[in-house]
Amino acid sequence: MTYDRLVCANCAAPVSEGRCPVCRANRQRLQQENPFAGLNPIALVALLAVLIAAVALLAHQTV
């Protein structure tokens, strides 16, 4: 991760160590910019759409 090399402006320790609240806040913010973290809501919506389609298909087949 890119934040491994960041040094905190507050405590001058690596942000990845999370020694102070500023470090932890920065680390959390940077982790949220991870593409996998941003994918989760989209994946949930896609999963929901697939479930609705599957239910609709099953309902259509049984009737």
Interface ranges with Zn ion (CB under 5 A): 8, 10-11, 20, 22-23
In contact, 4 and 19? CB cutoff 8 Å: no
Distance CA 60, CA 54 (A): 10
Give the shortest CB-15-to-Zn ion separation in angstroms.
7
Give the shortest CB-17-to-Zn ion separation in angstroms.
8
Indicate the residue among 1 and 53 with the shorter CB distance to Zn ion. Answer: 1
Distance CA 20, CA 11 (A): 7
Indicate the residue among 2 and 40 with the shorter CB distance to Zn ion. Answer: 2
